Chains A and B, each alone.
With several copies, the nearest count.
Chain A
Amino acid sequence: MNKKFEIEINQDWCKACYICVKICPKQVFTISEKESFRGFKEVIPSYEDNCIGCLQCENMCPDFAIEVREIDHAVEKS
């Protein structure tokens, strides 16, 4: 069974360093076109489905702005 992951980005904490974008082996992330209120172009987990849960993005994010969670199928089923 394929594991599924959901990715949450805390835009208030993100500083747009783009480590996550570049480090992701599955190119899960894209960068928004326009700037946010805080003056950053936001990171968007556009291809969440491709995520393999390697956690590189989460671990390497210096700003604790990404959380990768395995979707709990058990719970879904119940």
Chain B
Amino acid sequence: MDKMEIRFAGTGGQGIILLGVLAAEAATIAGNYATQGSYYGAQVRGGITSADVVLGKEWIPFPYVEKSDLLVTLTSESLDHYVNQAKPGSIIIVDENIIILEDQDELQKNFNLVRVPLTHKCFERFNSNFFLNIVTFGFVVRYLKDFFTEEHAIQALKNNVPERLFDEELAALRIGLNL
């Protein structure tokens, strides 16, 4: 793929933006072009948060997702809200423990729906969902191989998390990578 449109979505406080930043920065480190734009900035709490990432081999004019190639949602509201902006047949990753409000069969028919026990695995290891976004990032890496490798992902993580937390963050990443 020369260009890929990815949308991460969830709720405030889940670190959705960081998730997007990690994916885009990893691609940048790998020498590719990447944008990360968020429709929802500072002054917001609660509600839906999303981070758009567009990866490309060269500069991309429109930096947002028009129709996603990959949609990653951590809450049912955000899935509900963004599913109709996903390309038919595209990949949709959802946390296993969210309640799908849509007709699930329809979803499965129209998209490549992937349910993953992200929260579960995160709790299992950390007894909190604090690192849920990093676990998710780890899981998602496999879909973005055209743009960066696991090493780039680790480098991106290093650039974006406080040093004192890095070991734990890395562990979370690995959980995702290995899911």
A–B contact (CB under 8 angstroms): yes
| A residues adjacent to B (C-beta < 8 A) | 35, 37, 39
A35/B99 in contact, CB under 8 A: no
- For this complex, 7 residue pairs linking A to B, each with C-beta atoms less than 8 Å apart, are A35-B119, A35-B123, A35-B129, A37-B99, A39-B11, A39-B75, A39-B129
Name which residue of chain A comes closest to B98, CB basis: A37
CB neighbours (8 Å) of B119 from chain A are: 35
Name which residue of chain B comes closest to A34, CB basis: B123
Chain A min CB distance to B121 (Å): 14
Chain A min CB distance to B4 (Å): 29
CB neighbours (8 Å) of B129 from chain A are: 35, 39
Chain B min CB distance to A62 (Å): 13
CB neighbours (8 Å) of B123 from chain A are: 35
CB neighbours (8 Å) of A37 from chain B are: 99
Q: How far is the CA of A37 from the CA of B129 in the complex (A)?
A: 13
CB neighbours (8 Å) of A35 from chain B are: 119, 123, 129
Chain B min CB distance to A58 (Å): 23
Name which residue of chain B comes closest to A37, CB basis: B99
Q: 7 smallest A-B Cβ distances: which pairs?
A: A39-B129, A37-B99, A39-B11, A35-B129, A35-B119, A35-B123, A39-B75
